Structure 1
Amino acid sequence: MKIGHGNDLTIDSAFQTENYLRSNMTDKKGFSRRAFLRDSMAALVSTALPVVADEEKSSSPNEQIRIGIIGLGGMGNSHINAIQNLKNSGYPVEIVAVCDVYQVRLDAAATRTGASPYKDYRKLLERRDIDAVSIATPDHWHSRMTVDAADAGKDVYCEKPMTHWRNLQEAKDVVEAIRRNKRVMQVGTQFMSSSIWEQVNDRIKAGAIGTLIHAQASDMRNGQINVYDPKTHDGLADPTKNLDWKMWLGPAEKRPWEPGRFFAFRSFWDYSGGCGTDFFPHRLTPLIRAMGLKFPRRVCASGGQYQLKQDGREVPDIFTITAEYPDGPSVLLVASLATDAGIPWVIRGHEGTVNLDINSAVIEPEQAIIGDKGVREEIQAWRPCSLEEHFKDFLDCVKSRRKPRSHEVLGYQVMTVLHMGIHSFRKNKVYEFDPTTEQVKG
């Protein structure tokens, strides 16, 4: 598929998806950059709320949804667990196909699920009896697989981050493909399954904390994390016997086989943005929903390798993004692989502060402004967070054709911050976003 990639819409144009796929796939008619720019803001307006995606595709609550799983590593198996748990509880869903380039993982998943195995996701997408797919591959494949799935008429659950960090056009392509094909998409930020973000948003809109001033969140970890350790190897993977290394690299730069790049892809820029794109979607997506934000005005980032710098990894072990939104607030995000001493999850307003947890929140009035009239407010989520609930929301929307809670437009807004932040860190620059033209400038 040929899709226009305007260089003025991205900071770094060194992305090789199209060259790879021209030699591996049959081209289809795409769309022009001018048409995309003309329609993209209209698409955002029309999809930012939970409106009907395609009434013609709505189905009865008892009709079974047939799903294929693409990517069978840790998260792919978590997807299988969630879907099988829903099936065992009576939800009408069935895993009918599984796909991976690594034969060991593919055989294990096929045996476990009884589903048909595929080494090439494009063969899986050719099946007309599959309604939806879940994508749990490395980040550098997310956009291409999502677009291909949507063009094949499949609804999509895609792991976070929605796309790779390097080229923001990928996120635009996803939004356009979902709109063009009238598909349903859920990004795998399962914290969004909790109702607390909707409840906090209601209180903020009601004026409970006044003007939004600042928000912060962190995800801090420490100790041995195998999925980030380039020395990780299961002792079985061998590109000469059971792993299609060329297909795994796909649109990324061609390199000789390195086990660390396969098992610890999150530590290499070609496939991931490290803890920034791995951790921040879980924190930023709920903040955007709770505060009713859209796109940032300005983004900058800092960090470095201070502890984990002897094993060949490329990404920082501490990473900080500051995003400024038009008329506020400023948002601070911190992620680490070398310390687990985090900062509180907080939204600060002129008249009050919201202290957040995944399933609860406490609103504390600002005594200097409210005085004795302020009342502390405790909020409990009426719908708790779980991966099963996040998948159920997606599958319910496959039936109803409504927007899921973590849809592709939210994913685009999150990826805008991450795209700008990682480029800021790597190039030591501050970047600004123009929401009218959707251009990043720095």
Structure 2
Amino acid sequence: MSSSSLVGRRSFLQTASAAAAAGLFVGTGRSSRGQDSPNERPVFATIGLRNQGWAITSKSTGLADFAAFADVDANVLGANLEQLEQRTKKKADGYKDYREVLDRKDVDAVMIATPDHWHTKISVEAMLAGKDVYCEKPLTLTIDEGKLIEKVVEQTGRTFQVGTMQRTESDQRFLKAIALIRDGRIGEIRKVTCGIGGAGASPEIPAVDPPKGLDWDMWLGPAPKAPYRALPEMRQGYGGGVPLYTNCHYAWRNWFETSGGQLNDWGAHHVDIATWALGASDTGPSKITPVSYSMPVDYKDGYPTVADRFNVPTSFEIRAEMPGGVPLIITSSGDNGILFEGTKGRFFVNRGKLTGKPVEELESNPLPEGAVEAVYGGPVSGNHTANFIDAMKSREQPISDVWSHNRMLETCHLANIAMRLGRELNWDPTKREIVGDAEANAFLSQESRKGYEIDM
């Protein structure tokens, strides 16, 4: 969002927070200790612990105390409780049901790193329980979920941080990229390309018994009822130690029922930076065109015709028409990162490099003093959790706020809808709906499975 709208929204949220403390909003009766004692070391709990759950926890133990963990996999829960004790010399309580965490009065904030289909339910219920929230990206499974989260943030006045860490990474590479653009180093932007990589297809994956210790029904939660599926081959590297082909651990990213493939995974990082650089964080695209794409299974009316293999796009080129007619290309081809092209030059940025003639010219013509800080909105902490805790203390919103995140993620969600239906979509960024296409608009939401609706 623009700096002016962010300041306005922050002021509103400060007012909302004060009103909530006075009992003027629904769902704030169970306020946490953090709102009453913002200067104390906060007490956190993590919900969803495999891989990224432990990653964000381990990065935060120097700044917060962890009182509780929750995970539906007993093996993951136990292993992480042991790791926490080894790291901090303190014990935390473990739960299968996250609601027991939300009932605790001593927990100020929750860190959510579950699969995507659980994010909205836990986030909303945590805010209504008086907790501040840190939730991993992508924040939502659907566009309407984003609207709901925004509503509850405003209703409760809670601080909410999304895990798009490229906004706060310690070497400031992405912040410098935006500062270059704002300082006119490439002139007017003519094109932005986000390379986010493709996804692999899978063979037929049979239904088998879930692993011992995993509550499969609760893992599915709001997602449609389905059998647990897995093949014996194991994943290697990051996220390893689980089946390579499954509809559960790690590979849930390859199923629309629980995620959105590369568009919602890497897209949530690079499209975020691109949208921020374009000054489009409080609006969005007007048109989404699936230039080319490949689906791993056949689709009918936007739904896969088989249920036993990965179903998200494997390769793609998407064109999003951004404000001012600037094309934003999202592609599975090329180097992972963002290429900015303007009337006076171009440069490329990713997590390993910032390259191009405008970057080389910084040696003789550096950015103005404070240019990076101006992008960030103040001194750069370089630590995502520190930014979250600072926002908790000030009762403001952090650098990765829900509004800017949802706006950019709408582009990713729309790209997936366009590929599922095989057609161009016209988007109204003011009404936040697809123009003249009732079938496509039906994909803006997904009904929760009975028994796992959001507890409002």
TM-score by length of 1: 0.74
Q: Does 1:376 align with 2:370?
A: no
> Is this contact kept in 1: 2:175–2:372, CA < 8 A?
no
Give 2:409's aligned amino acid. M
Residue type of the alignment partner of 1:268? W
Rounded Cα–Cα distance in structure 2 between residues aligned with 1:278 and 1:207:
30
Q: Which amino acid aligns with 2:57?
A: I
The change in CA–CA distance for 1:237 and 1:305 in structure 2 (over 3 A counts) is: same
Alignment of 1:41-440 (within 5 A): 45=5, 53-54=13-14, 63-84=40-61, 87=62, 91=63, 93-113=64-84, 114-164=91-141, 167-194=142-169, 195-220=172-197, 237-238=211-212, 242-259=213-230, 260-263=246-249, 264-294=251-281, 295-301=284-290, 302-305=292-295, 312-335=309-332, 341-342=334-335, 345-358=338-351, 361=354, 364=357, 376-377=361-362, 389-440=383-434
Structure 1 unmatched ranges of 5 or more: 1-40, 366-373
SS of the residue 1:261 aligns to = coil
**Aligned residues of 2:337 and 2:351 also touching (Cα < 8 A):** no
Deviations 1:318-345 (A, max 9, x none): 2332211121321112237xxxx52662
SS at match of 1:220: coil
SS of alignment partner, residue 275 of structure 2: helix
The whole-number CA distance in structure 2 between the counterparts of 1:232 and 1:406 is 39
The one-letter amino acid paired with 1:423 is I
Count of aligned residue pairs for this structure pair: 373
| 2:165/2:384 contact within 8 Å kept | yes
Contact kept in structure 1, 2:48 and 2:112, CA below 8 Å: yes
**Contact persistence 2:426–2:434 (CA under 8 A):** yes
Write the distance in 2 (CA, Å) between the matches of 1:399 and 1:205: 30
- Indicate the residue corresponding to 1:4 in structure 2: none
Label 1:210 to 1:408 Cα distance change in 2 as closer, same or farther (>3 A).
same
**Equivalent residue for 1:29?**
none
Residue-by-residue CA offset, 1:154-188 (whole Å, 9 max, x unaligned): 11111111101xx3110101111111111111111
CA distance in 1, matches of 2:9, 2:357: 29
Given residue 211 of structure 2, which amino acid in structure 1 is its aligned partner? A
Deviations 1:378-437 (A, max 9, x none): 6799799x9971122112211222221111011111221111100101101111221222
Take 2:266 and 2:381, find their aligned partners in 1: how far apart are those partners?
16
Deviations 1:136-162 (A, max 9, x none): 111111111111111111111111111
State the alpha-carbon separation in 2 of the partners of residues 191 and 270 from structure 1. 27
Deviations 1:77-115 (A, max 9, x none): 11222112xx1xxx3x11111001111111112222221
State the shift of 1:128 in Å: 1.7
Greater CA drift, 416-425 or 288-297: 288-297
Counterpart residue type for residue 335 of structure 2? G
Deviations 1:32-85 (A, max 9, x none): xxxxxxxxx9xx94578765743757787851111110001111111222112x
> Does the CA-based 8 Å contact 2:198-2:314 persist in structure 1?
no
2: CA distance, partners of 1:328 / 1:363: 24
Cα separation, 1, equivalents of 2:362 and 2:382: 29
Shift of 1:317: 2.2
**For the structure 1 residues 154 and 343, does the alpha-carbon distance in structure 2 shift closer, same or farther, using more than 3 Å as the test?**
closer
Q: Which amino acid aligns with 2:388?
A: F
Using the TM superposition, give the Cα deviation of residue 247 of structure 1 relative to its aligned residue in structure 2, in angstroms. Answer: 1.4
Question: What is the CA distance between 1:361 and its match in structure 2?
Answer: 4.0
Report the Cα distance in structure 1 between the residues aligned to 2:406 and 2:266, rounded to whole angstroms.
Answer: 16
Structure 2, gaps ≥5 residues long = 19-33, 85-90, 231-245, 298-305, 438-456
Separation (CA, whole Å) in 2 of partners of 1:129 and 1:229: 47
Equivalent residue letter for 1:304: S
Taking a change above 3 Å as real, the CA distance of residues 300 and 64 of structure 1, as seen in their structure-2 partners, is same
For residue 347 of structure 1, give the secondary structure of its aligned residue in structure 2.
Answer: strand
TM-score (norm 2): 0.72
Once the two structures are superposed, what CA deviation does each residue of 1:220-257 show, in whole Å capped at 9, x if it has no partner?
Answer: 3799x9xx999799x9823xxx2222211111111123
% of aligned pairs identical? 29
Moved over 6 A (4+): 57-61, 228-233, 379-384
